[in-house]
Amino acid sequence: MHRNDFVRQLNSPGGDRRPSRILNIDAPLLLILIALCSIGLTVLYSASAESIFYVKRQATFMLIGLFAMIAIAQFPPRLWERWSVLIYLCGLLSLVAVLFFGVGAKGAQRWLDLGITRFQPSELMKIAVPMTLAAYLGKRHLPPRFKHVAVAIIATLVPVLLVARQPDLGTSLIIFSSGFFALFLAGLGLRYLLSAALLAMAAVPTMWFYVMLDYQKQRVLTLLSPEQDKLGAGWNIMQSTTAIGSGGLSGKGWSQGTQSQLNFLPESHTDFIIAVLAEEFGLIGVLGMLLLYLMLVGRCMMISLNAQSMFGRIMAGTISLTFFVYIFVNMGMVSGILPVVGAPLPFISYGGTAIVTLFLGFGILMAISTEPKRI
Amino acid sequence: MKDGAAFSDPARERIMFARRLLVTAVATLLLTAVLIARYFDLQISRYEDFATQSNNNRVLVRPVAPSRGLIYDRNSKLIADNRPSYNLTIVPERSEDLEKLLVDLGEIISISERDIQRFRKRLKQRRPFEKTSLRFNLSEEERAALAVNGHRLVGAETSARLKRYYPDGELFSHVIGYVGRINERESRTLDTVKYSGTDSIGKIGLEKFYEQQLLGEVGSEQVETNALGRVTRVLDKTSALSGDNLTLYLDSNLQQVGHDAFKDKRGALVAIEIDTGGVLAMISAPSYDPNLFVSGISQKNYDRLLYSKDRPLFDRAIRGQYPPGSTIKPMFGLIGLEHKIVTPNYKINDNGYFYFKGIERPWRDHNFARGGHGHGVDLAKAIVESCNIFFYGLGVKTGIDLLSDYGAQFGLGSATGIDLPGEKRGIMPNRDWKKSSRGQSWFNGDTINTSIGQGFMLATPLQLAVMSARIASRGKVRTPQLVKAINGQQQPILEAQQQIAINDQHWDYVHSAMEDVVHSSRGTARSISSGLGYKIAGKTGTAQAISIDAEEKYDSTKLAERQWDHALFIAFAPADNPKIAVGLIVENGEHGGSAAAPIARAVIDAYMQSNPSTAVAER
């Protein structure tokens, strides 16, 4: 069949899938990740006012993440498929625990204090939700029936709402979108998609009046007209767009970004780090980084397409799409086309848990990519 | 993409999945294109705008305040100084808990409810990373207390700036005036660039008149700041230019002597250096402390000054207008002699009353009850004893046209042109003036009133001094000036080309008569002559504060003090070689000879002592 030919072409791009003999490693994926981490450390050095401390810490987390990724890649995907529900339930339990025993900063309870380290259950759910849905839907006939769709939606919405309560709108949206991607890739019917779209439209006013908190509404209003509140919520966006815009084509040079070096840019080493990159390396730097991201997403989609099981396909596809959502939400919010939500830029923003979680996700992807061909 | 497939079909599922993935891949690319478009828009299309904005963020041009010009008296004594003043400022953003900080500060130094109210008002107009003042004029102890507790007062700091200070307090307040905060009305018309580093401006007096010279030129510094507004680096600096220093003709010593001589009396005195027209002393009593106004006077203090019966804020020297009374007699005598209306030999008999044809009620003399000045009153005697009847006749015969024409030449009825703002013109009445201001024709009765300096006639103490100086200098028309030099640069003496055209022997005659006012046994100011080592020429005057009917006698015991007559005196000395001329008034002082003349003598004495050469060398 014509379509089969198409699939087959995509299916056999020659030497791309080359499982290592000793270790299961997807070399292209690893190289792109290492490149991104290097860029991340370079920008972080400048964004944190040339602080070796931050860079060292971040590098440590990256190394831990890298090893964790490679370790995970050694387990067959089937194992993750089997354990996914248990991981999901653990994650759910700890989310509930956060509601009661959580610690946090800036008015949000996000962490569980485990004594030696702090643990952020919502980060775990970023992987657990797509993994569970992929496992659940992968075993069913596709496209999924109503009953399965309903189960999948509930399995997504429970953690989404729990995380939204913390409140952590950014993560909750990421988890929500991962659930949606899993269902979409599983072949969710057009009717569902249409009704979901209608529901979403209906939900907007409900969300606005009943669910969203004042500060969250403020962020949306700020997005629409940052100039109205120059010194308050609009300050961040005006300063970040100024930083980006003043970078021009080739930027002001490494560590020469005045907006970030002189503290005009808020959160310059975490959520707003892309503004530092844009200011110091210009549009060329932004495009270069986007290219790397696209290569990563493309490689992940390739892995997804070539996966041996439906679990592997849905899981890999969901992770690659969710990863892109990260990038889009972060770069969109910093450049002022999306409201400000707490969303770090993967591999570039400072933050240990997020880095490790990312690597865990890519570890599973690597496991999927290196799974021996059954056919 | 049909749902509800009953049987598992791996190949079909794979195709379905591949199509779905393709859709998401396309969506990914589209969204990436959106991002690229956005960053292209910011970084390429709108690069210029953002580059400018970013530069503005980084480089701040801050004004550097110039230091205001200083003011010295003629002997280089500093009378308007700049002193550092320490203010307590708060950067709200830097303090973790503003309310707690305010409480903490209140425990260390005194901060009133009003300070906090004002602070909150200012706070609303400023950005959270800007300094906002909480307390002004911190004392040494307060600064020390704040420094010791600095570690727990994050967000608060003391900052120094120069503040105007008048070391002599109330002594010069009416002359120097004061500076004060620029108010809203002023800020609307000010050159905002010139005043960018300054928050005060000359409000009245010399401070206002010479504002442009005293202000100086604002400098600027380009500084790199961070978002907290903290300066990280100074990139460029243009120094401010200090304002010009003023040196005055004023003599602090004379000023002090005059000020002390007034004690608790109300009035004003102006002393002029005849050769230059320079003002040696200018006093308006009572006075007030100008330092109160410099960093904003409290409502309580202001009300106290504003509503005081003694009106300390009122500058009587240039804004007080009084009937000059008999002090104009020497001048009118000169006109009479020059125009041959009277001669030195002309004498009248004075029984205390003056009748004018067609007018039933007579004008009378101050001593009508004792039968007037008697027989043989000539011009000299009329000046020495201040005989009104003589001048009624002289005035009527001279006519208002000549009187007012000469009066104007002697400085009456128009601003003298002194370098102070707000000078009053007084009134030298004439036909045109009466027509335009009263809509009435001039009557002879008006001339009679004018001839003894009453009626419509009004003059400021400054005008009296100027008239005295012009008589003393035999008609030299010099404009009174306070500022002698600007930045050491001598200012020109303002003298009219044309002298007042009066024959020398007439000057001699009148000078001699004025000398007799003080030095003869019948002179109205003879009380000040005792122990004088030099000669003073003068003329007393009395001006009614209220009008008394001709039938009644003025009796001070029946009147409230504020209705008593004003006492006036003009004088110059030394009589044979005049150097200093004085004009003064003591409100409700009753008699020029007893109330006003002693003050003039005290000032002239002080002048003669500090300039002994003038007295001796010319003798």
pLDDT tens for each residue of B264-283: 899 999 999 999 999 999 99
C-beta atoms of A283 and B128 within 8 A: no
Does the structure show a pLDDT above 50 at A7? Answer: no
* Residue extent(s) of CATH 3.90.1310.10 domains in chain B: 62-245
pLDDT tens for each residue of A207-233: 777 767 777 777 777 766 666 555 555
Q: Which of B8, B43, B53 lies nearest to residue A283, judging by beta carbons? A: B43
CATH number of B62-245: 3.90.1310.10
Does the structure show a pLDDT above 50 at A20? Answer: no
Rounded Cα–Cα distance for residues B338 and B193 (Å):
57
Question: How confident is residue B481, by pLDDT bands cut at 50, 70 and 90?
Answer: very high
Chain B residues whose beta carbon lies within 8 Å of the beta carbon of residue A189: 1-3
* pLDDT for res B5: 44
Chain B residues whose beta carbon lies within 8 Å of the beta carbon of residue A317: 17, 20-21, 24
Q: What is the overall mean pLDDT for chain B?
A: 87
Q: Determine contact: B235 vs chain A, CB below 8 A.
A: no
Q: Which contiguous run of DSSP H or E holds residue B29? A: helix B10-40
Chain B segment 37-76 residues within 8 A of A by beta carbon are 38-40, 42-44, 46-47, 49-51, 53-55, 57-58
Q: Determine contact: A200 vs chain B, CB below 8 A.
A: no
Q: Determine contact: B31 vs chain A, CB below 8 A.
A: yes
Determine which of A240, A242, A276, A289 to mutate to test the interface with B (most B C-beta atoms within 10 Å).
A242
* Residue extent(s) of CATH 3.40.710.10 domains in chain B: 252-308+318-617
Q: Which of A185, A242, A297 lies nearest to residue B28, judging by beta carbons? A: A297
> How many angstroms separate the CA of residue A149 from the nearest CA in chain B?
11
Ranking A161-165, B24-28, B169-173, B371-375 by mean pLDDT, the lowest is: B371-375
Does the structure show a pLDDT above 80 at A113? Answer: no
* pLDDT for res A16: 46
Q: What are phi and psi of B43, to 5 degrees?
A: -90, -25
Residue A362's alpha-carbon distances to A20, A70, B381, in angstroms, are: 16, 9, 122
Chain A residues whose beta carbon lies within 8 Å of the beta carbon of residue B21: 185, 301, 304-305, 313, 317
pLDDT tens for each residue of A177-198: 999 999 999 888 888 888 888 8
* pLDDT for res A8: 44
Ranking A2-6, A122-126, B586-590 by mean pLDDT, the lowest is: A2-6
Average pLDDT of B526-530?
89
* pLDDT for res A239: 83
8-state DSSP, B204: E
pLDDT tens for each residue of A23-38: 888 899 999 999 999 9
Query: For every residue of chain A, which 3-state class applies, written as one string?
Result: CHHHHHHHHHHCCHHHCCCCCCCCCCHHHHHHHHHHHHHHHHHHHHHCCCCHHHHHHHHHHHHHHHHHHHHHHCCCHHHHHHHHHHHHHHHHHHHHHHHHHCEEECCEEEEEECCCCEECHHHHHHHHHHHHHHHHHHCCCCCCCHHHHHHHHHHHHHHHHHHHHCCCHHHHHHHHHHHHHHHHHCCCCHHHHHHHHHHHHHHHHHHHHHHCCHHHHHHHHHHHCHHHHCCCHHHHHHHHHHHHHHHCCCCCCCCCCHHHHCCCCCCCCCCCHHHHHHHHHHHHHHHHHHHHHHHHHHHHHHHHHHCCCHHHHHHHHHHHHHHHHHHHHHHHHHCCCCCCCCCCCCCCCCCHHHHHHHHHHHHHHHHHHHCCCCC
**Where are the alpha helices (H) located in B41-164, listed in sequence order?**
47-58, 98-108, 113-124, 140-148
Determine which of A244, A250, A277, A291 to mutate to test the interface with B (most B C-beta atoms within 10 Å).
A244
- Parallel, antiparallel, or unpaired: how do β-strands B219-225 and A108-113 relate? unpaired
My answer on whether omega of the bond before B286 falls inside 30° of 0, hence cis, is yes
Question: How confident is residue B2, by pLDDT bands cut at 50, 70 and 90?
Answer: very low
pLDDT tens for each residue of A280-290: 999 999 999 99
> How many angstroms separate the CA of residue B156 from the nearest CA in chain A?
21
C-beta atoms of A301 and B232 within 8 A: no
Q: Determine contact: B233 vs chain A, CB below 8 A.
A: no
Q: What are phi and psi of B237, to 5 degrees?
A: -145, 130
B123 Cβ contact list (under 8 Å, min separation 6): B92, B132
Residue of B nearest to A274 (CA): B39
Chain B residues whose beta carbon lies within 8 Å of the beta carbon of residue A244: 39, 42-43, 50
Does the structure show a pLDDT above 80 at B95? Answer: no
Beta carbons within 10 angstroms of residue B505's beta carbon:
10
User: Domain B252-308+318-617 sits in which CATH superfamily?
Assistant: DD-peptidase/beta-lactamase superfamily (3.40.710.10)
Catalytic residue chosen out of the listed positions B95, B133, B287, B326: B326
Amino acid in position B207: E
Sign of the dihedral defined by the CA atoms of residues B585, B588, B591, B597, in that order: negative
Average pLDDT of B68-97?
87
Whole-number percent of chain B with pLDDT over 70:
92
C-beta atoms of B57 and A264 within 8 A: yes
C-beta atoms of B21 and A185 within 8 A: yes
pLDDT tens for each residue of B103-137: 888 888 888 888 888 888 777 766 555 677 888 88
pLDDT tens for each residue of B403-451: 999 999 999 999 999 999 999 999 999 999 999 998 999 998 899 999 9
What ipTM does the predicted assembly reach?
0.88
More confident residue, B235 or A140: A140
Q: Determine contact: A215 vs chain B, CB below 8 A.
A: no
Q: Determine contact: B83 vs chain A, CB below 8 A.
A: no
Contact B53, B46 (CB under 8 A): no
Burial of B311 by CB count in 10 Å (0-12 exposed, 13-18 middle, 19+ buried)?
middle
8-state DSSP, B3: S
Q: Which of B1, B17, B40 lies nearest to residue A189, judging by beta carbons? A: B1
Question: How confident is residue A165, by pLDDT bands cut at 50, 70 and 90?
Answer: confident
Rounded Cα–Cα distance for residues B40 and B33 (Å):
10
Residue of A nearest to B36 (CA): A287
C-beta atoms of B3 and A301 within 8 A: no
Of A74-88, B148-162, B227-241, B266-280, give the range with the top mean pLDDT: B266-280
Query: How far does chain A reach from its first CA to its final CA, in angstroms?
Result: 19
C-beta atoms of A246 and B54 within 8 A: yes
C-beta atoms of B24 and A258 within 8 A: no
The contacts found for A251-256 with CB under 8 angstroms, 24 or more apart, are: A251/A278, A251/A279, A251/A280, A251/A281, A251/A282, A251/A284, A251/A285, A252/A279, A252/A280, A252/A282, A253/A280, A254/A42, A254/A46, A254/A280, A254/A281, A255/A45, A255/A46, A255/A50, A255/A280, A256/A280
Of B96-105, B344-353, B499-508, B604-613, give the range with the top mean pLDDT: B499-508
B270 Cβ contact list (under 8 Å, min separation 6): B279, B281, B282, B283, B317, B461, B462, B464, B465, B480, B582, B583, B584
Chain A residues whose beta carbon lies within 8 Å of the beta carbon of residue B17: 142, 185-187, 305, 310, 313-314, 317
Does the structure show a pLDDT above 70 at A11? Answer: no
Q: What is the overall mean pLDDT for chain A?
A: 83
Q: Which of A189, A244, A248 lies nearest to residue B3, judging by beta carbons? A: A189
Residue of A nearest to B30 (CA): A328
Q: Determine contact: A201 vs chain B, CB below 8 A.
A: no
> How many angstroms separate the CA of residue B298 from the nearest CA in chain A?
34
* pLDDT for res B74: 93
Determine which of A183, A262, A294, A302 to mutate to test the interface with B (most B C-beta atoms within 10 Å).
A262
Q: Which of B21, B40, B58 lies nearest to residue A304, judging by beta carbons? A: B21
The candidate with the shortest Cα–Cα distance to B543, out of B595, B582, B480, B580, is B595
Rounded Cα–Cα distance for residues A362 and B127 (Å):
46
Chain A residues whose beta carbon lies within 8 Å of the beta carbon of residue B18: 6-7, 10, 305
Chain A segment 122-181 residues within 8 A of B by beta carbon are 141-145, 181
Residue of B nearest to A291 (CA): B32
Of A112-121, A154-163, A290-299, B540-549, give the range with the top mean pLDDT: A290-299
Active site residue B133: no
More confident residue, B561 or A146: A146
A132 Cβ contact list (under 8 Å, min separation 6): A84, A85, A87, A88, A155
Residue of A nearest to B44 (CA): A248
Does the structure show a pLDDT above 90 at B290? Answer: yes
